[in-house]
Amino acid sequence: MNKRTTIIIPLLVALSIVAGILIGNLLNQNSRIIQSPVMGYTRPNKLTTILQLIENGYVDSVNSSDIVEQTIPGILKNLDPHTAYIPARNMQEVQEEMTGNFSGIGVQFSIQEDTVRVIEVIANGPSSKVGIMPGDRIVTVNDSLIAGVDVKNNTVLTLLRGERNTKVEVGVVRRGYDEELEFEITRDNIPLTSVDVSYMIDDNTGFIKVTRFSEQTYNEFMNEMEKIHRQGADKVIVDLRQNPGGSLASVLQLVDEFLEKGEDILYTEGVNQPRKTYRASGKNRWKEKEVFVLIDEFSASASEIFAGALQDNDRGLVIGRRSFGKGLVQEQIPLMDGSALRLTVARFYTPSGRSIQKPYENGVDEYYQDLHTRFSHNEQLYADSIQFNDSLKYQTKAGRTVYGGGGIMPDVFVPMDTTGNSEYFEQLFRKGLIYTFAYNYADSHREKLSAFNTALEFESYLDEQNILNEFVQYAEQNEVARDTEGLQTSRELIHTQLKAYIARNIIGEEGYFPIISRIDNTLQKAIELSKQNLMVENLLKEKK
């Protein structure tokens, strides 16, 4: 060993010791104990320590906020599929979904052929007050051109929405006018409805479509129930298909109107959350109504609470296909910078004790691939493809067997209807041609069509027109060649959709749903059951 090495080694050792002391002091300074008043735990804040070490010692300048924003989702990914971090920039949209309103100009629009087209104007809303009309093309918003520039839906929403009482200038192209029309619109609160439509299917049966559960859903639902009640409905079909859920409080209020006092609605429980049971208060306003609940593989969370509570209490028939399987309860915890943590704190269980939550132990990706797996097993076509372990059997109040383990299994299974499918229809669907033709047809014949007020009037009139042939020619102009065999297979499907979309473009959902129901086999099954003149209780006993 040479003299130089003899000098350097002790020096390196000394420097290492000094560095160790400095780092140790820094760790001691930064390894504070964090206390959570919300969740009630204490633990060393290693993440804060690492961040401060990076800030104080990293070779380049860093943005700690960006690091945090990118790190949090990675941490939460190791929990369950529904625990989520909501950045501050997304909180407004989340709040709008839950509260059921936002501030904007009050139009429903669609982007077709690179043009923003007004589909519907909300009555007495800001746009209605200044004269915006269905069929108008919005081409500019303030100084921004939004026509012919491959504009996206979110961009248009960002431009049109804003704080209440702020103004926005909108440029419109309208059929019959040579020059662009300009409107100054004062934004206002716009209700984000969760009940799409209600109407009478026949003299005794009403229909209500609920698309989400927000804070306003209970009031909306009760108003629509009152309407069909006054029209003579003693049976009601509640359509929860493709309803992803939402507000727990709202669905509890809804179920409370159908159950007797003391009957269980659900209970929740978690490691840090003691069991809490929710029971009906005895309101039971609709106790005389026969109830039929429609669900499918996209019905989740609050939708499953509604269906499960009525099923387990033998209060109504559940019809359709197995629901999604989300049985986790989230608590939204606000953070200091305006963001929030939506933390799963408990599981919910139906009155019979079923946990509806499907497994997620194999990761988030596989969890959301579950629907694809179901389809690959033909579950949407055959009830027998669904196999449950005997350990997942539960009993309803009347002793019927129901199953847990992932979603609500309906009392009456209805397969997905594929009878009208063809390659020709698939091409039309992929290009969105049925939708765009219906819009153009409604726009071109708006004056004539505006004389009709009901779906039946629209259907009677359109059946006398040659819209199917017009549409086939329109499709040819848009590079979908006539296919005689495919047209024969899909004729009813295409023709019914055309009529339904044309009616929707003039009078909204009350024009669309009664027409589209002709090719809705799940709804048709519910109508068939409702006409058997048997109380739901008797139908349920037959299933026992």
463 is catalytic: no
301 is catalytic: yes
β-partners of residue 294 are 239, 319
Catalytic residue (choose from 247, 250, 301, 517):
301
Q: How many helices (H) and strands (E) does the chain have?
A: 20, 23
- Give, as one character, the DSSP assignment of residue 355: B
Catalytic residue (choose from 196, 312, 370, 483):
312
Measured CA to CA in angstroms, residue 291 lies from 225, 311, 542 at distances of 12, 10, 16
Task: Enter the tokens of residue 509.
Answer: 């959902």
- Give, as one character, the DSSP assignment of residue 32: P
- DSSP characters over 394-423: EE-TTS-EEE-SSSPPPSEE-PPP-TT--H
The torsion angle over the Cα atoms of residues 451, 457, 462 and 463, rounded to 10 degrees, is -150
- Give, as one character, the DSSP assignment of residue 488: H
- What amino acid is encoded at 87 in this protein? P
Question: Is the CB of residue 138 less than 8 Å from the CB of residue 170?
Answer: yes
- Measured CA to CA, the distance from residue 498 to residue 512 in angstroms comes to 10
Q: With helix as H, strand as E and coil as C, how does 233-299 read?
A: CCEEEEECCCCCCECHHHHHHHHHCCCCCCCEEEEEEECCEEEEEEECCCCCCCCCCEEEEEECCCC
Catalytic residue (choose from 209, 235, 289, 326):
326
194 is catalytic: no
The torsion angle over the Cα atoms of residues 479, 482, 487 and 490, rounded to 10 degrees, is 0
**Which among 169, 172, 147, 152 is positioned nearest to 160, based on CA atoms?**
169
Rounded to 5°, angle at Cα 295 from 289 and 298? 150
3-class SS of residue 501: helix
Q: Which residue has the tokens 């108008």?
A: 136
- Measured CA to CA, the distance from residue 223 to residue 219 in angstroms comes to 6
| Residues annotated as part of the active site | 301, 312, 326
